[in-house]
Amino acid sequence: MRRQKSPSEIGQFVAPLSRVFDGAWQRMHWWVGTMAVLYLLSGITVVRSDEVAVVLRWGHLVGETPALQQHGPGLLFAFPRPVDEVVRVQVKRVWEVPVSTLAAGEYSAQSSAAPRGPVPQGEDEDEEPGEATASSATLDPLTQGYAITGDENIVHVEMVARYRVREPGEWAFYGPKAEDVLRVEVSAAMVRSLGEMGVDRVLSDGRKDLIAIAARRAQAGLDASHSGLELSSLELTRLSPPYALAEDFDAVQSSFIGAETSKKEAQAYAENMIPSAQAEADSLLQTARGTSSNDLAGARGDAEAFRALDREYRANPGVVRERLYRDAVDQALSKASQVRWIPPPVGRTYQGMRITVGPSNSGN
């Protein structure tokens, strides 16, 4: 039979523990009060200068309007968890998210562009050199992203989206999935925008318009999904055709660049030549106007002299005729080198004076 401990032995063992529990119980209200105060103080949150805080009470947003939902920098007093949850949002920070849902996968241009080495044993040496490259550059729509342009060409797009939180109240519910929502909206907007433009314009001078249209549509999608995000900028880091067609597209791009270069050179040449031609035309016009004015003045002077002579002739015909005759003779004699008077033949009537006009060394 077992030997049972006497009550006195059990009492001796329990007595110290009883005294400890009794003392703790007497001081318990101080501990409870201290823990309650610490628990209430845990609801105080410090909101920094670049942050805005919102309060979720039992999972619901506190405040009827955005102005009441948002709390600025300073101390924010709220109920501790699990009653209230304070979410601090950095509204002045701009976040950056890469968007590669429309980019080519790792089927990689490197492997298809690398030179082909020696043919391993067991491989068919009669295989065409281009077959491996063509197969490695084949687009797999199940694993690789792409978009189709308005003229049914395939392009790969890589983007960087920069955003900030505009509505902290809405972002509080979508915060953990904010980047996923942004990627979906940006990708959808880019697919729709590319579907409205031709590939030549997309790869040349239409990128600026493409980015503007896609950013506007992406922001509309973010607003419709109540994400609380604002798209600050959208940047295209890569926009290219599939690798198998890259050389052809590069040739088209080079031709377009060459045409644009020739066009700009022609415009520059025209801009240089047109002012010069205009200045020359103005100079010729001014010269013609001066010559015309001089000729007109001379003609008017001659006409006026002729009219005066006519009036004088009408008044004294004989005098004017004799004067004109003498003037004509004097003018002719002034140009003559020698003047010889030849008497009339004997027995004939004198018929006038003969004048020989010629060079002085002619001997006449």
pLDDT digits (tens, 9 = 90+) for 44-79: 777 777 677 778 788 777 777 777 777 777 777 777
pLDDT of 335 above 50: yes
Task: Encode pLDDT of 201-231 as tens digits.
Answer: 887 778 899 999 999 999 999 988 888 888 9
Span between the terminal Cα atoms of the chain, in Å: 190
Mark whether 59 and 154 lie in a shared domain: no
The predicted structure's pLDDT at residue 235: 92
Mark whether 51 and 176 lie in a shared domain: no
pLDDT band for position 6 (cuts 50, 70, 90)? low
Mark whether 160 and 237 lie in a shared domain: yes
Task: Encode pLDDT of 97-114 as tens digits.
Answer: 999 888 876 533 433 333
The predicted structure's pLDDT at residue 133: 42
* 38 or 302, which is more confident: 302
What's at 87, amino acid-wise? V
Domain annotation covers residue 65: yes
pTM above 0.75, yes or no: no
Q: Which residues of 165-201 are buried (b: 16+ CB within 10 A; e: fewer)?
A: bbbbbbbbbbbeebbebbbbbbbebbbebbeebebbb
Number of folded domains that form the chain: 2
Q: What is the average pLDDT score of the chain?
A: 76
**Domain of 218?**
95-106+143-241
Residues 336, 343: Cα–Cα separation, whole Å? 19
Given a contact cutoff of 8 angstroms between Cβ atoms, the answer to whether 197 and 210 are in contact is yes
